[in-house]
Amino acid sequence: MLKLSDLKTDCRYFRGDVPCRQNKQFGVTCDKCEFYKNTDSKILIIKLGAAGDVIRTTPLLNPIKNEYPNSKIYWLTYTPELVPVNSEYSADVVLKCDFTSVMYLKEIEFDVVINLDKDREAISLMSVLKSKKYFGFTIKDGLCSPVNKLAEHKFLTGVFDNLSKGNKKSYLTEIFEICGHKFNNEKYILELDYKYDMKWGIDTGKKVVGLNTGCGERWTSRLWSDDNWIMLINTLTDNGYEVILLGGKQEDEKNKLYAEKSNAKYFGHFPLKVFLNLVNKCELIITQVTMTMHIAIGLDKKLLLMNNIFNPNEYELYGNGEIIQPQKECKCYFSPKCVNTDYKCMDHLFPEDVYNSAVKLL
């Protein structure tokens, strides 16, 4: 008869409230189990959002797993579907950020807690969690504050535009340094679930170019004009490329218009796991700084990144893409709306230049 003393609660697969997968599949119990994998430490990563930031934080799982090979890794986020759980470097427990998850985490004694967000909910949680070591950002006197010297660089570039503009480090270099590691070109970890794939009606006999036409409601300073998008689409299709339009609900009306005025294909907007499979059909993605940019990098697609208001040094394209910027200087650094009364820099990012860069990448 199985006793409580027989339980191996340090096992990576032990869940406590429901049967583990091995018990479900093979009927094994802790006293007679060949799947037992012990864990000797608990690590929490707090990276809530946005979705693209969650994707580009996944390379950090590599050095964490290498330094703590027997650790149990928890990840708190608003987009749990983007955190890898079936790869060599995965999280063990992925939690959607809500009241229940926060109450649960407060009762766990961690060995390491890493908070890479500066949002009020993240820094507030950081201050009440129990851990032997802390990395990243916490709260002090009601404000975000670096936990230690490792986080000072990223903190300072976040509160002063002139320091941010002069920063030469990529985001990945910065978050690795925050955790005491060196970035060695570790790749994004993005898992595809092929059961969410569809028959799209894409002409795979041609090279497929995906155009992500939006950039969110907040960052209108990055918008490219309808005329420019349509001119780019027509140039691509006239030269034998298959063009599909990508975006979410916010881009639906825009993409329908572009499809009507060109030979581009638009299939609609989809849940995230379906959207991942659609992006995977493309060889090249042309986009601004969006979640789709990070999806393209995670799926190892060629990427042409249109950038104006952000520091281009921030982005790691792994030698598989190019950043293209307007010919006239952007004067609206990190500004959601264009504040330049002389000209709009995005009017000086020309379709022919985007097309020529796309052809070179392909």
* CATH T-level topology, domain 39-178: Rossmann fold (3.40.50)
CA separation, residue 157 to residues 146, 148, 160, 194, 283 (Å): 12, 15, 6, 40, 34
What's the confidence (pLDDT) of residue 24? 93
d(CA 269, CA 13): 36
d(CA 247, CA 287): 10
Q: Is the peptide bond preceding residue 50 cis, with omega within 30 degrees of 0?
A: yes
Residue whose pair of structure tokens reads 């020309």 in the numeric block = 350
pLDDT tens for residues 29-59? 998 899 999 999 999 999 998 899 999 999 9
Which CATH number does the domain 195-361 belong to among 3.40.50.2000, 3.30.1330.10, 3.30.70.3420, 3.40.50.10800? 3.40.50.2000
Annotated domain spans of the chain: 39-178, 195-361
pLDDT, averaged across the chain? 95
pLDDT tens for residues 208-262? 999 999 887 777 888 999 999 999 999 999 999 999 999 999 999 999 999 999 9
What's the confidence (pLDDT) of residue 216? 72
User: Does this chain's domain 39-178 share its CATH topology with 195-361?
Assistant: yes
Q: What parts of the chain have a pLDDT lower than 70?
A: none
In three-state secondary structure terms, 309 is coil
* Residue 287 backbone dihedrals phi, psi, to 5 degrees: -155, 165
What's the confidence (pLDDT) of residue 336? 87
Radius of gyration from C-alpha coordinates of the chain: 23
Name the pairing type of β-strands 71-77 and 93-96: parallel
What's the confidence (pLDDT) of residue 61? 98
CA separation, residue 22 to residues 11, 33, 254 (Å): 12, 9, 48
